[in-house]
Each structure stands twice: as structure tokens, then as C-alpha cells.
Chains A and B, each alone.
Chain A
Amino acid sequence: MKITNCFKRMLIAHIFTALFLTPVIIGLTGAEAKDSTLIIGIENSISKLDPLTMKDPYTFRVGWQIFEGLVGLDENGNTIPKLAERWEVSEDHKEWTFFLRKDVFFQTSDIFDNPRKTRKVTGEDVLMSLTGYCSSRAYPAFMLLDSIKGAREYNQGKADRVEGLQIIDPYTVKIVLRESEPFFLDRINSPWFGIFPKEMIQAPNPSWGETVVVGTGPYKLVKKTDNIAILNRNKEYWRKGFPKIDKIVFRVIRNDQLRFLELRKGNINFMLIPKSLLPEVVDSNGAIRETYKDDFNAELFSSFNSHFIGINLSKVTDKHLRKAISLAINRQEIVDQVLRKLGKVNIGTIPLNMQGFPNSEKRYYQTDIFNMAMAREELKKSSYNGKEIELLVHDKEGSQEIGEIVQFYLKRIGVAIKLVKLDYNSLLEKMLKGDTELFNFFADYVFSSPEPLLSNMFTSSKIPIPNVWAFDNKTIDKEINSLRHIANREVSFQRSLSIQKQILDAVPAAFLFQQRNLILYDSDFRNLKVNGYFHYMLDEIEKKTK
């Protein structure tokens, strides 16, 4: 066969094109073949991933990537739509209608017996999920029992469905509340109320939570053991283009120092820095040390937390003594030295970063927070006889140190404190029984506005939990109830602050500070967002391509 000139030219052209295109093709497929993985180090093993019974923070971390609720909270404190694309509220703030997105599919699983192994999320799933959260075996039930009509009756077994949860049409769900609640969304925007398939209630599966975990979130569970949880990107996630990371691995490394070593070696990419490692990572001004600046991003996040020395009002009845105790504690010094300035003194318990907090929070209460002279005066006015008061501390980070510091401060004004260290659960039990005098504890609030906070922590019907200080004041009860009728966020917040001031006059606790948490993660990643519930919103995090 004769090879013509024309053919030769074509051949050369083809070879050149191929040589030119090959690196491009290889580059493309290479980029696709390389998965981006985020490895997070956590400090204790992950228990059952059942949204109804999840209790501990480590399980939450994993579970909240898999499940989502009707609405969520963004990093600035705004409620954002999730499974519900919009909502309407009646005039009296008692009826909330949620219009669901029509394009959300559950993560693929064998529990759906159709060839695609998935199905759309409908109103019935939302109804079954929310009903499940009102049932007696659900841990977060206490959040809804006060609000949703008929929830309490269902919870106690007196009714077989929740009257206030109604389906209007396949993509519309209506929630009727017992009383008016202008900020109902701030109760349910917590990731605690993830929506799961109705099959979980109707045809319960014994592996639910262990191998069968089906939600609607950005990541789906691939494997879970005691030490590891592997989550893959949910390719059918309703938010197009997200998530950007292909795989998340949660590794359990219990020892803080070893976990930090793994971070520095690069075996894990992401870690929350516990108090004991703060001296290593930050200097005494709260700035990151030079050694870590290059390889890691260090970001501070404030969750809705409150650390306090709680006072059992039924045992420590002398108001002047309580005032003396509160005035003798130098909170700023604790924040500076123990937290290395990673925290803010808060004389009350309403978190300072809740939306609506007035900007001039510097001295929003014109009272002294720390004043030794006044403390001594109050002590003189009281009938304190020198008897030792018991201060209970627990074993989680920092509690013992704070207890020792408070004991020292109170000794300076002449109040004798006896420290007793218990483990976390025993302390909780004692608080439940009301068998405490002073106790060092903290609260991680799961609502993003002050009314549920005040009504849970300070109304007399909530003694002994969550009203752990046995605060009993009928006038305050009425005032907290009146918050339900204020629809304007700023006015409501101001009113909440003034109610808090009245509560603080009785000194139910010496509120210390709100802590800021430090997360150290590999500088290859960016766009980490964390909201006030300390939920890592990992659908937007991405890895820089080299």
C-alpha cells in the first residue's frame, strides 16, 4: 500500500495532537482519581448513630453530618432553610407551616426496596420523625414537649399521635403550638431534629444506628467501628455542588497528647484543642505560636455555652453569702490565665453571641462583677458561721482547676470551701437529686434565642433539671411567660436581658464566662464554618488543589 504524502501529514498531525492532549487528559483523570479526605481526631468512641438517642458530643459530630432538620443555623446566628425551603407563620405565632423542598432524596440504602434504593423526602417522613422526637425514648424530647400541642400527651402515652403535627399535603407540614412562640424556629433549628425515613419507625431495623444509617445530609455513613467512622460524600445531596470533600474520617484517639502528635505528623487534619494543650498552642496573649502558624489554620469559635458555679438555692439560703461568693471571684483572671484569653467574662448566662445581643455588651449591666471590698461587706451582712461549704467538681477539662481557683478566691474573703471531685455522671445525679451546695458545671445551649433558655433554666416547673439551682419565683415565672407575646427580636432580647438581671439579683449562680474553642486544622483546607451549636458545617469546607 502506498503511503501518500497526505496520509503522512495526517499521521503526524494526529501524533502531535495526541502528544499534546495526553498530559491534559492525564491531568484531568488524575485530579478526579485523587480523593480529598478530611481526617478529624475525636476523643472518645462513637456510640449508636440513632438521632433519637444520640447523647454525647462525639456521636453528635458524626451524626450531624448525616442528618439534617427542617431548618438550620448558620455561622452568623441566622436561621436558614434546609429541608424546608420556606415557611409561614400565623398571626398569633401558634401555627407554623413548612413547605418542603421537592428535590431531596434520602441517602441510598437497602431499606428502600426499589432499584434506585432511595426515595424523596415527603411530609410523612417529617411527621414520623418529629413524632419520634416527641416519644418517650427520645433524648431531645424535652425541647419539644413544652412547645408542640399534644406532644406531652403523646410522650406520656395518653395519645397515639401528636395533635400538633399535621400533614397538609405531601410536601407541606404544619406544626401547631400550645402557646404563641414568635421564635419557635430557634428551638428546632438545632441539628438535633434530623429527619429520617418513616421506615425506621414503621419497620424498625435492629442495625439502625450501627450499619444502617440513613439521613439527608451531605455525608453518608460507610463504616463505623468503635475507633473509626468513615463518611463518603453524598452524591445526590440536594444542595448542588456541595459537599466539596469526598471523604471524612473520624478517628478516635483518646489521649490528647497523642492526638496532637498525629495532627503534627499529618495523620489527622483537624482537631479541637483541649484546655490542657492550650499552653502549647497559644501564648499567654491568646495568639497562636509561630511553630504552628504555617502548617495550620487556627480558628476560634464560640458556641452557646456558659460556665458557672451553680448554687443550690434550697441549701445555700443566705442571699448575702451568695452575693459575697459571686463578688469574690475574679473571672477575668480565670479567663486570662486558665483559658489564655480564649473566652469572655459573662455575668449572666445568656450567651454573648446570640443574635440580638446589644452591641454595647461591655457593661450592659451596671453592676460590679468582681469587687473584693463589696464581697467582704456582703459577707459581714450575712450570717455565715465559717462552716465548710461543699463545691463539687467533675473530671472534664478544667473543672478541677476552676474549683481550686474559686476555693482560693473564697478563702481570701474568709469563706471555707471543701472540694469534692466526682465523675461527670455522678455529679449530674447529685444535681438531679438536689444534693449539692455549690457545683462547677457548664451548659451547652441548643436553642438560639433567650426565651427557651430562660424558661428552661429558671422557671419553677423545671426544678431540678434543667433548673439546677432550684430557682423558684412566681413573678419571674410570669415574666418569662410574657416573653411569648413579643414578636420583635430586639425588644424580646432586651426584655430577656432585664428579666435575667432580676434573676441575677437573687444570685442563683456565679456565672463565670463563655468559652471560645480553638480548632486547629491543616492549612490545605479552607472555608470551615461552625455555628453556635458547635456543629461543624462541613458541606462547604474544601481542600485547596496544589
Chain B
Amino acid sequence: MRPNRHITNGILFLAVLFAFTFLTPMLSSQNPLDIQLKQNFQNPSVEHPFGTDELGRDVFTRVLYGFSTTIRVSILALCASFVIGITLGSIAGFFYGSLIDMTFNWHVSLIFCLPFLLLMASIMSILTPNIVNAYIVLACVMWVGPARIARAEVIRTRMLEHVLASRAMGNPEWRILFRDIMPATLESSFIFALSYFPEIIGLEAGLSFLGLGVQPPDPGLGKMIFDGLNYIYSAWWLAFCPAMVLFVIILLTNLFIGYRGKRAYGF
């Protein structure tokens, strides 16, 4: 049961990215919250590689800090939803047909058919709107995706020979589940969960649309893109620079995980 190359690649990449987020703030000597009103809307220059925003703050520094916040919390949300999803999904798939499975299905369908935005907005109106809360709620809603995949995969693999053999050998149920079945399901669920990574980052911006997520004046990648779109005629760099950074991140993610042309992990 060697760990699949893609999963190790993926985990390595995420870990490096996570560690990198602690380094990026040090790349710039300026303060992301430093308002210099008279220097607003400066074009990109040597002093300000990404220009300045509407309050004169250096966009490059803000992008670095925003990258740090957004990516860090997105990775954590991704991992949380992945872990919860795989666990619950596998258990449900293992007990396919029983009451546990039906309850699971019912709850997953329920969460799935409620408009995601509604859930987020309702829960956030009870809690205080800050980025940590937003991502906790995000993880609680996003686990259904990986869970569904895990369940489908477990249903498929539990009929396979090596599982029957393991049972014949007298292994306890939980051991079968964890040792034999789950490794097979991990791969496809992981790929699926990872494909959600760009979406989670984009969701942060969608949340800032409703006022949930990163609170001002802290920078957040998605929020910066969203606010920057307001000034697209007069200051194109405000939206384009964070968007390019995001694009590079997604590109790197896809390259490192690299599921192009490999066996079907379709769901």
C-alpha cells in the first residue's frame, strides 16, 4: 500500500505553500496598512511594483499579506473539509444500505440543495463576521463534496477481492476499513478536493461581497480583486495584479498535482 505519487506530490505542494505563506510578508519592507492619501492611484513603478491603491497603500505588500492570509486559511479549510468528508463518506459507504448510510445520504442531499450563500449568510449573521469564522462555516459546508466521492469509491472497492480476502483472514471491520479500503479511495477524493482549491479561494472574494470574510483594512486576495474591479478604468493594476498572482497559484497547483492524461479519477 504505497502512497500514490499524486497524493504525495499534492501534500508536499500544499505543505510548501503553507510554509511559504509565513515567509511572504517578509519580502516587503512596507506596511500594508500604511495609508498615504496623497499617493493614491500611482502607476506601477520601481518603488511600488504593483502601484498604490485608492488610499495610497502599496499594492505589492498588500498582495503578499493577502496571499498569506487567504492561502493559509484556504488550505486549512480544504484539509478540514477533506478529512471530515473522507471519514464520514467512507463510513457511510462501508455500511452501504443500512440506516447510517441512508441518514448520511439524506443529510448530504439536504446540505447540497440549500443555496450555499444562504447558509453562509445566515450563520455569519449569528457569529461575528471575521475570516476565521467564515472558513469554519465553509469547511462545515464543503465536506459534502469529498464525502460523496469517498462513499461512491468505498461502495465500489468493498466488493473487490482483497477486501473479501481480508475479511476471510479474520481482520476486524475497522481494520478493513482503514487499511484496505480507504487508501484506494483517498486518491480520487483527494484529487476532487484539490480541484476545489481555486474555488475556495474565489469563494473568499464572493463572501466579501456580502461582507463576510476578511474584514477591512486587512488585505485578502479575493477581496482585493473584487474591490479593484471598481477602478478598472482608472487603475487597472488594482484588480489585475492580485488576479495574476492568483492565476499563478492555481497554475502551480495544477502543475504539481498533474492529473492530466492519467487514469480516470472521474466521479
Contact = CB atoms under 8 A, between A and B. Distances in A.
Indicate if A touches B (C-beta under 8 A).
yes
Interface of A: 256-257, 260, 276-277, 279-280, 333-334, 336-338, 393, 395, 400-401, 403-405, 407-408, 419-423, 426
Contact of B125 (A336, A408, A426): A426
A279 B234 contact: yes
Interface in B32-89: 33, 35, 37-38, 40-41, 54-55
List the 8 closest A-B pairs by CB distance, nearest first: A276-B230, A279-B234, A337-B37, A280-B234, A408-B35, A404-B217, A280-B233, A419-B216
Contact of A337 (B33, B38, B211, B215): B38
B164 interface: no
Chain B CB within 10 Å, residue with most, of A279, A280, A336: A279
Given A337-B40, A404-B55, A407-B217, A256 B230 contact: yes
B217 A257 contact: no
B218 to A, nearest CB: 9
A405 B129 CA distance: 21
A405 B37 contact: yes
Contacts of B232: 257
A421 B129 contact: yes
Nearest to A408: B35
Given A395-B211, A405-B35, A422-B211, 19 more contacts: A256-B230, A257-B230, A276-B230, A276-B231, A277-B233, A277-B234, A280-B231, A280-B233, A333-B37, A337-B40, A400-B216, A401-B54, A404-B216, A404-B217, A405-B55, A408-B55, A419-B215, A421-B215, A422-B129
A421 B211 contact: yes
B148 to A, nearest CB: 33
Nearest to B214: A421
B229 interface: yes
Contacts of A279: 41, 54, 231, 234-235
19 contacts: A257-B230, A260-B233, A279-B41, A279-B231, A279-B235, A280-B233, A333-B37, A334-B37, A337-B38, A395-B211, A404-B55, A404-B217, A405-B37, A408-B35, A419-B216, A420-B128, A421-B211, A423-B210, A423-B211
Contacts of A276: 230-231
Contacts of A423: 210-211
Contact of A404 (B35, B38, B129): B35
A430 to B, nearest CB: 11
A419 B131 CA distance: 13
Contact of B217 (A280, A336, A338, A419): A419
A420 B55 contact: no
Chain B CB within 10 Å, residue with most, of A334, A401, A405: A401
A520 B128 CA distance: 40
Contacts of A277: 233-234
Contacts of A403: 216
A257 B229 contact: yes
Chain A CB within 10 Å, residue with most, of B125, B229, B233: B233
Nearest to A256: B230
A64 B33 CA distance: 43
A393 B233 CA distance: 26
A256 B232 CA distance: 10
A209 B230 CA distance: 33
Chain B CB within 10 Å, residue with most, of A400, A403, A421: A421
Chain A CB within 10 Å, residue with most, of B35, B41, B215: B35
A241 B54 CA distance: 47
A423 B211 CA distance: 6
Contacts of B216: 393, 400, 403-404, 419, 421
Nearest to B53: A401
A421 B124 CA distance: 12
A260 B231 CA distance: 12
Given A393-B216, A404-B216, A404-B217, A257 B233 contact: yes
A400 B230 CA distance: 13
A246 B22 CA distance: 64
Interface string B225-239: 000011111110000
B92 to A, nearest CB: 37
A403 B229 CA distance: 20
A77 B3 CA distance: 79
B236 to A, nearest CB: 11
Contacts of B35: 404-405, 408
